[in-house]
A and B are shown apart, each in its own frame.
Chain A
Amino acid sequence: MRNAFIDELIKAARVREDIVLIIGDLGYSVIEPFADEFPDRFFNAGIAEQNMMGMAAGMASEGMHVFTYSIGNFPTWRCAEQIRNDVDYHNLSVTNVVVGGGVAYGSLGYSHHAIQDYALMRSLPNMLIAAPGDPMETRACMHYLLEHAGPSYLRLGKAGEANYHLSQPEISPGRWLKVRKGSDKHVLLSTGFGLQIAMKLIHTDEYSDRTVYSMPLWSMEAKSIQASQIQPYKEIITIEDHLQDCGFGSWLLESIVNSNDDLMQKIKLMALGQDVCSTFADQQSLVKAFNRFT
């Protein structure tokens, strides 16, 4: 995913002089091609996330589209106020790109787990969450974000994720993207790395008939179009690598909480249980042990 990201960013920067990349002293073996080709538009902010985000907002206020890059746990809560006040409140084109979403850096421990990041980002009114499920969705997200000004949070895994699309899909905020056709009653609806989990689940007897949708773009505003997409189905299981609290599944439930129809009973949430916070292991082991109905 991160390779797809930097590839798309470089292609865009070749034709758009407003694109800037600021890293938080991370990105070894990823960002070098950008830094080499665009030395005047590449900055390493050092280990100083508050300044990185404030500075990104300042540059964006002068018409630049600024991409910041770090590991998910750092440029979120560490500089939450800069994201809230400087970027989101002023509605500026800063794309906060993170790798290691969820528990991708599992064995590095709780400090490196980004499992409350959706909670922060989805509470910001102008923020668009871009959580692609595979490298093709990453490219689609990049194209969307480059064409639509405003604050965004691009949450990536690491590297080596399987591709589940043959070509770059058409995406828009809040729209369910069909990845696998199955039952017309039962659905797995993922965001981000949840797609990788979903596409493994369909190889089990219990979920083998499920239709799989991914939602790579979502936001506060996109809640309004969820009820009509839920309506035709009997059961929807949301899948994410984030704590259930304030995550993707709870976002979906909030979107229909005032619905007149009995839609809420159709939704089940598969997310990380809170006990993941007190342990560490590699990503696969953590997801296997803690991603469940909570």
Chain B
Amino acid sequence: MSALSESLAKDIRKTSLQMVSSAGASHIGSALSIADILAVLYSDVMEFDSTDQDYIDRDRLILSKGHACVSLYAALHHVGMISKEEILTYGQDFSNLMSHISHKAKGVEFSTGALGHGLPFGLGKAMAAKVKGEKWQTFVIAGDGEMQEGSNWEALMFAAHHNVKNITLIIDANNLQSLTSVEKTLAIEPLLQKIEAFGWDCSDIDGHDHIKIAEALSQRTSKPHCIIARTTKGKGISYMENQVAWHYKFPNPEELKIALKEIDNA
């Protein structure tokens, strides 16, 4: 953990809120859920060059839950890759920043939106690094509801079979999906045991604790590594936390003011 990651997490949350509020966009709850994970990745873990998005030895990050895009756009803005001017285009027609993560934005590796695509794609990147003998790591962030997609389990099997150790899967386990909890929709627990049974090493951590996140992300095991990050959807904003409605709603100016104040006071 660093003061930098705590500060970045606050910036990610504030910019994300401002983006969805001005654009009238959905999915702020999901974006806030992964803000701490992104903050630690960009502050303490990932190798990248903010002046060169194609820097060959950069670590690769795939946001499989593409609807949480504002959080990543905000992170990339605060580390100097996406300009303020471009951030302000969010929600405008023909912007590079579509409302699911877009590879047309600087620093974004892969566009997603349909779920269950990020892990197979990230696995392909990790395999390419192995074939070429390159040392960078691939990180994939998926949602817990997203683990209902069968393609993820195909990829889990393949990674274990080929002992692909240069990939880290982070599951944002906020236990909420489109209508209600994951548990009530289509239960996926016990996730840790299932993923371990598929041949991965698995950590189960508090996904808002920067020390735990940094430790888990830096861990390199003898198998592919999955981090189940237990998170709260809408984390940091009292009236959004654990509320399905904030998968869809965006804060009005008054609500935005309250939200920004809560972050500043946290």
Contacts and interface: CB of A to CB of B under 8 A. Distances in A.
B158 A59 contact: no
Nearest to A62: B128
Contacts of A90: 103, 110-111
Interface stretch (A42-50, A120-128, A148-156, A158-166): A42-50
Contacts of B162: 43
Contacts of A53: 120
Interface in B98-157: 103, 109-114, 116-117, 119-129, 131-132, 150-151, 154-155, 157
B113 A59 contact: no
Nearest to A53: B120
Interface string A81-99: 1100110011000000000
Interface string A19-48: 010000000000000000000110101101
A60 interface: yes
A55 B155 contact: yes
Given A20-B131, A40-B131, A50-B150, A61 B158 contact: no
A109 interface: no
A58 interface: yes
Contacts of A51: 120, 123, 151, 154-155, 157-158
A126 to B, nearest CB: 14
Interface in A60-87: 60-64, 66, 81-82, 85-86
Contacts, number: 95
Interface residues of B, number: 30
Contacts of B114: 81, 85
Interface string A210-235: 00000000000000000000000000
A63 B162 CA distance: 21
Contacts of B161: 46
Given A40-B131, A46-B157, A54 B150 contact: no
A81 to B, nearest CB: 6
A55 B120 contact: yes
Contact of B127 (A43, A63, A85, A86): A43
Nearest to A79: B151
A86 B155 CA distance: 15
B120 A82 contact: yes
A187 interface: no
Contacts of B103: 90
Contacts of A57: 120-121, 124
Contact of A48 (B110, B113, B132, B158): B158
Given A51-B151, A64-B128, A85-B114, 19 more contacts: A40-B131, A43-B127, A48-B154, A48-B158, A50-B150, A51-B120, A53-B120, A54-B117, A54-B155, A55-B121, A58-B120, A58-B126, A61-B110, A61-B124, A63-B128, A81-B114, A81-B117, A85-B117, A90-B110
Interface of A: 20, 40-41, 43, 45-46, 48, 50-51, 53-64, 66, 81-82, 85-86, 89-90
